[in-house]
Each structure stands twice: as structure tokens, then as C-alpha cells.
Amino acid sequence: MNNIQKNRWKDQVFKFWGIFCTVIGLVLLTIFIGDILIDGIRRIDWDFITDLPSRKAENSGIYTALMGSIWILALTTIIAFPVGVAAGIYLEEYAKNNKLAGLLEINISNLAGVPSIIYGLLGLEVFVRIMNLGASVLAGSLTLSLLILPIVIVSTREAIKAVPQSIKDASFALGASKWQTIWHQILPASGGGILTGVILALSRAVGETAPLIVVGALAYVPFVPQSPMDEFSVMPIQIFNWISRPQAGFIENAAAAIIILLGITFIMNGIAVYFRNKWQKKWK
């Protein structure tokens, strides 16, 4: 009897420990965002968004870094989206069960685990030096594209995998070729899932700091990039730069810039979740 009670008691204790652990994660998330809001929200106004960086904390703004991030985002999308989706289609629809497919799969899984700073070293040597692109927006975007490629490929595969076989069979039965089936049936049917993956990958790219520092993105840029060959800074690097300064004013700036960066990240995640939910309903 005693033993049973003891076991039930242990069970209850663990249950509360489980609730505690789960909640602590969320509480930390709240404290964390709350603290940054308190530190930074008063600093955010229109001037903060449109001002150039400056030596004085109270005159500094995020304009060049924000524009740099938008440039990086746009170019990374243009490069990584077609390549990643094409590779995903190949792996899921063409390369089934041969040796190459096995190699590609283990390779992509490994790439997904390579630390982002290593991609920075690759970009520094290949894009900045060998291809002679310099510390340009293009070199940064190419580096980040390689970084998010595994994520885009994996989510494309998952989205395509979820399309029912019956749709493909019906298309083939009507005499469509493989590519016609992919282009007219599979891609429209899996579009939501692919989009979800791409947006999540891009939200990762927006927050990346280390590889861009290695590639040579600047902490202080007094101008907005006009072409893909211009030098640039991005939001996370601007934040890092402000954090590393001792004056309190810059910490406030950093908190304010973090609010804007988190805003962008959360909105992108929100859009991704929206697409995922909308698309999941379709097949269930």
C-alpha cells in the first residue's frame, strides 16, 4: 500500500516539475522581451528609423542597417529560393533510391548542422576573394543563401511529400509528362508548404550576424547600398556594434534596434505559421 502511494506521489511531483519547466521557458521569454521593451521602446521614433549611424548615441539611427538587411533579404530570396526549391524537387521526384540520392541526403543533413560562422569563412574565401566581389551585399547574400539552402530544400521535400499520390496518378493518366505533373499539379498543391519553409529560412537569414561579420560587412556604414556591389551593414551587426560600446545610450539604442529586429522576425514567423495552418487543412 505504502509503495503505491509513494509512486503516485512521485508521479504528481514529476507532473508539477514538468509544468514548472515548461512554464519557465515561457516566463523567461516574457521577462526577456519585457526587459528589452522597457530598455528600448522609448528610443523608437521616426527619427530612429530614418537617421544614419552617428558617434553620438542620441543622434544614431538604424536607417543604413535596416536598408542593408532589406537588400540582403531580397537578394538572398532571389538566389536561395529557385535553387533550393529545384534541388528539393529533384531529390523528391527524380533521385529516388539511387546512390546519388543517398549521398545528397547525408550531405544536406550535414550542411544543416555546419555552424554559420563556417559559412562565413567559405564566403570570405570564395566570394570575397576568389570571385573578387569584395565585402559587398552580393557576397553577403550568396553566403547566406548557401547557409539557408538546406532548410529550403528540406521543407520543399516535406511539402512535396505531403501531396497525395492520387493527384500524381491522375495527372499521369491524362498523359501529362513528369515535368507537366510537377509544374501544374505538385507545385501548386505544395506551394503553401514550400512558402512556409522559405519564409522560416529567410527569417533565420535576417537574424544572422556571424557569417556576415566574417565576410566583412561593416559595423559603421554612413550610406545606403545603391547596388549589389556596395558595402553594407545589417541590423544584427548594428546591434552587436552598439552592445560592444560602453556608453549607456548605445545600450538603449541596441534595445530599440532589437525590438525592431524581433518585430521583423516574429512577423515573418507569424506569416509562415499562417501559411502552414492554411495549407495543412487542405489535405486533412
Partner 1 sequence: MRKIKELIIEKTLMTSALITIAVTLGIILVLSIEAIQFFSEVSIFDFLTDTQWTPLFTEKHFGILPLLSGTLLTSFIAISVALPIGLTISIYLSEYAPKAFRKAVKPLLELLASIPTVVYGFFALVVVTPFLQGFFPDLAGFNSLSAGIVMGIMIIPYISSISEDALHAVPASLREASYGMGATKLQTAFKVIVPAASSGIIVSIILAISRAIGETMIVAIAAGQQPRLTLDPTVPVETITAYIVQVSLGDVQHGSLEYRTIFAAGITLFTFTFLLNTLSYRIRKKYQEKYE
User: Footprint of partner 1 on residues 143-172 (CB under 8 A)?
Assistant: 146, 149-150, 153
Provide, rounded to whole angstroms, the least separation between the CB of residue 210 and partner 1.
4
Q: 59 is written with which cell numbers? A: 543622434
Q: What is the DSSP string of 146-180?
A: HHHHHHHHHHHHHHHHTS-HHHHHHHHHTT--HHH
User: Footprint of partner 1 on residues 238-267 (CB under 8 A)?
Assistant: 239-240, 243-244, 251, 254-255, 258, 261-262, 265-266
Q: Which amino acid is at 172?
A: F
Neighbours of 162 (CB within 10 A): 16
Q: 118 is written with which cell numbers? A: 563556417
Asked whether 229 and 127 are in contact (CB, 8 A), the reply is no
In the list 122, 162, 187, 224, the residue contacting partner 1 (rule: CB under 8 A) is 122
Asked whether 111 and 207 are in contact (CB, 8 A), the reply is no
Distance CA 107, CA 111 (A): 6
User: Footprint of partner 1 on residues 30-89 (CB under 8 A)?
Assistant: 31-32, 35-36, 39, 82-84, 86-87, 89
Asked whether 193 and 272 are in contact (CB, 8 A), the reply is no
Asked whether 81 and 94 are in contact (CB, 8 A), the reply is no
In the list 162, 219, 224, 271, the residue contacting partner 1 (rule: CB under 8 A) is 219
In the list 49, 57, 126, 224, the residue contacting partner 1 (rule: CB under 8 A) is 126
In the list 59, 110, 226, 247, the residue contacting partner 1 (rule: CB under 8 A) is 110
Provide, rounded to whole angstroms, the least separation between the CB of residue 244 and partner 1.
7
User: Which one of 48-56, 58-66, 184-192, 234-242 is the stretch in contact with partner 1 (CB under 8 A)?
Assistant: 234-242
User: Which one of 12-20, 54-62, 186-194, 220-228 is the stretch in contact with partner 1 (CB under 8 A)?
Assistant: 12-20
Provide, rounded to whole angstroms, the least separation between the CB of residue 274 and partner 1.
12
209 or 225: CB nearest partner 1: 209
